[in-house]
Amino acid sequence: MLRTLYRKLIFIYIILAIAGFTLLSTVGSHMVEDSLISSVSTSLYREATQIAANQGNLYYHDERSLTDLYHSLNSLASYHNSQIWLISTDGQILLNTAAALDEEHPEELTGFDPVALGSQYYSIGTFFDHFDDKMLSVMVPVTSNLRIKGYVAIHLSLQNVYQQRESLLARIDFLFLLVFGLSFVILIFFSLVVYRPLKKIINGAKEYASGNLTHKIDVTSHDEMGYLASTLNYMSGELNKTGEYQRKFVANVSHDFRSPLTSIKGYVEAILDGTIPPEMQEKYLKIVLFETERLHKLTQSLLTLNDIDSKGNMLDLTSFDINAVIKDTAASFEGTCTKKRISFSLILASRTLYVYADMGKIQQVLYNLIDNAIKFSNNDSTITVETTEKHGKVFVSVKDTGCGIPKASITKIWDRFYKLDASRGKDRKGTGLGLSIVKEIIAAHNQNINVVSTEGVGTEFIFTLSKGEVPKS
């Protein structure tokens, strides 16, 4: 349907052009002619009135001869390209500038009746059948002492009016063609500026609808069309990223579920068919339990991320002592730390330090960061957890002296399922989701988290929280 928009505009343009030219050549022609006749007749009538009042009165008062009047009016008639007559009351043409003066044998008008002309100050016709062609005629009485002595008539060929009409119409036609040409230029401009970009945008939308999200709409103008194109390009890019993420997400989830399930299935089948002797079953059952814990941890992490994605910033915000939460969380890792001979150094800003946040989710952040620190720390090392207060915010730091993070991986550690080494992590229980969960939770609090790491030296994670009010006792 939109494809026909340009054709519709062309069709409307042609129809308007034809209609405009038709109206101009018919109605316009008549309007111009009527306007010219009205204007010319008014001018002739004014001229005839002046002749009757001046030279006509002089003649009828015997102050000027007919010959002198003839010569005087002849030059005036030549100037106006017209005929000037002096007519007696009985219809004799005493003077005609278009013919030789004959005072002895004046021409007579057949059926001369001034009353027949009506109230119109001009007439169009043969003037009592005197002319072969139609003339524009005006007639003014010459009066003296309230009596009509004669008439002054001026006749102008309609050909003169028609010539003026054609001249004016030619100018109007030129202006019309000029406007027509300018409108055509505007139509071409519309095609280049509006229609072609719109067509590209429509084609781009079709490509997106068919699944080709890599298509780019080539519209770079700095207007609404360009803005729409850039918006659609951005949308397609984001959708493509989302689709790519979903594909990677499914692939990673499939991989992380398939490996432990394959192990569990293989060991259980071996125990059932007797491949593994009874005296060795306990060893392999512990492996099955280990893989089951991996699956449980992965499932819990996925549920946590889904909860964050679906609920967004729906947090249970309260004021609580962050120092107490840190102590409790660190204590929960006593068993793991004992095995690796890892100790905790808690450097807390004061005895109590209240923050305003979701306690459960912040506890999870601390758990994931400490768990990560233990995972990549060497034996006989120390993990430092520190709290400070600056500029109305609380800073929490979790620092280890482990292997560190490669510089190229710093920006990737927040990605879901990302693991530092090719074997998908030194600790096979890792899911690659812990830091993603941390990032999402801190972002949900409208706070920041940063990481500082040096290979072979250690890693420090620092996040901020809003300061809370001390509860009233």
- Residue 235: pLDDT band (50, 70, 90) is confident
Q: Are residue 235 and residue 266 in the same domain, yes or no? A: yes
pLDDT digits (tens, 9 = 90+) for 344-371: 999 998 888 999 998 888 988 898 899 8
Report pLDDT for 6: 66
Residue percentage of the chain with pLDDT more than 90 = 20
Per-residue pLDDT at 267 exceeds 90? no
Q: Which structure tokens are listed for 64?
A: 């000027």
- Residue 4: pLDDT band (50, 70, 90) is low
Domain C-terminal end among 145, 163, 181: 163
DSSP, res 382: E
Report pLDDT for 281: 83
Report pLDDT for 303: 73
| CA-angle at 336, arms to 331 and 340, nearest 5° | 120
Please indicate, yes or no, if residue 100 is contained in any of the structural domains. yes
Q: Could you tell me which residue, 431 or 155, shows the higher pLDDT? A: 155
Lowest mean pLDDT among 136-145, 190-199, 437-446: 190-199
Per-residue pLDDT at 28 exceeds 50? yes
Report pLDDT for 429: 52
Please indicate, yes or no, if residue 236 is contained in any of the structural domains. yes
Per-residue pLDDT at 285 exceeds 50? yes
Q: Are residue 16 and residue 117 in the same domain, yes or no? A: yes
Q: Are residue 269 and residue 342 in the same domain, yes or no? A: no
Please indicate, yes or no, if residue 180 is contained in any of the structural domains. no
- Residue 246: pLDDT band (50, 70, 90) is low
Q: Are residue 284 and residue 381 in the same domain, yes or no? A: no
Q: Are residue 286 and residue 345 in the same domain, yes or no? A: no
- Residue 195: pLDDT band (50, 70, 90) is confident
Please indicate, yes or no, if residue 268 is contained in any of the structural domains. yes
Contact assessment for residue 305 and residue 416, using Cβ atoms and an 8 Å cutoff: yes
Indicate the average pLDDT of the chain.
Answer: 83
Q: Which residue has the tokens 């941890």?
A: 297
Q: Could you tell me which residue, 442 or 261, shows the higher pLDDT? A: 442
Q: What is the mean pLDDT of residues 27-34?
A: 81
Please indicate, yes or no, if residue 235 is contained in any of the structural domains. yes
Exposed (0-12), middle (13-18) or buried (19+): which is 211, by Cβ within 10 Å?
exposed
- Residue 424: pLDDT band (50, 70, 90) is very low
pLDDT digits (tens, 9 = 90+) for 61-114: 888 889 999 998 998 898 888 999 999 999 999 999 999 988 888 899 988 888
Domain membership of residue 330 as a residue range: 315-467
Residue type, position 316, single letter: D
Contact assessment for residue 155 and residue 135, using Cβ atoms and an 8 Å cutoff: yes
Domain C-terminal end among 256, 288, 307: 307
Q: Are residue 295 and residue 325 in the same domain, yes or no? A: no
CATH of the domain at 274: 1.10.287.130
Per-residue pLDDT at 305 exceeds 70? no
DSSP, res 417: T
Report pLDDT for 396: 94
Q: Are residue 333 and residue 296 in the same domain, yes or no? A: no
- Which range, 3-12, 315-324, 410-419, has the best average confidence (pLDDT)? 315-324
Q: Are residue 139 and residue 229 in the same domain, yes or no? A: no
| Max intra-chain CA distance, the chain | 163
Q: Are residue 329 and residue 386 in the same domain, yes or no? A: yes
- Residue 422: pLDDT band (50, 70, 90) is very low
Report pLDDT for 423: 36
Contact assessment for residue 181 and residue 81, using Cβ atoms and an 8 Å cutoff: no
Report pLDDT for 234: 84
- Residue 425: pLDDT band (50, 70, 90) is very low
Q: Are residue 293 and residue 357 in the same domain, yes or no? A: no
What's the number of domains the chain is made of? 3
Q: What is the pTM of this model?
A: 0.47
Per-residue pLDDT at 256 exceeds 70? no
CATH of the domain at 78: 3.30.450.20
Within a 10 A sphere around the Cβ of 277, how many other Cβ atoms? Answer: 8
Per-residue pLDDT at 203 exceeds 50? yes
Cα–Cα distance between 270 and 263 in angstroms, integer? 11
H-run or E-run covering 159: helix 158-190
Please indicate, yes or no, if residue 190 is contained in any of the structural domains. no
Q: Are residue 16 and residue 114 in the same domain, yes or no? A: yes
Domain C-terminal end among 240, 272, 307: 307
Report pLDDT for 248: 63
Q: What is the mean pLDDT of residues 177-203?
A: 79
Lowest mean pLDDT among 31-35, 130-134, 424-428: 424-428
Residues 6+ apart with CB under 8 A from 437: 301, 304, 305, 308, 364, 365, 368
Cα–Cα distance between 72 and 77 in angstroms, integer? 9
Q: What are phi and psi of 336, to 5 degrees?
A: -65, -45
CATH of the domain at 337: 3.30.565.10
Per-residue pLDDT at 320 exceeds 90? yes
Report pLDDT for 191: 72
Please indicate, yes or no, if residue 397 is contained in any of the structural domains. yes
Residue percentage of the chain with pLDDT more than 70 = 88
pLDDT digits (tens, 9 = 90+) for 116-167: 777 778 889 999 888 989 999 999 999 988 889 999 999 999 888 888 888 8
- Residue 49: pLDDT band (50, 70, 90) is very high
Cα–Cα distance between 245 and 262 in angstroms, integer? 25
Nearest to 143 by CA among 107, 114, 167: 114
Q: Are residue 12 and residue 157 in the same domain, yes or no? A: yes
Please indicate, yes or no, if residue 21 is contained in any of the structural domains. yes
DSSP, res 5: H
Cα–Cα distance between 179 and 16 in angstroms, integer? 12
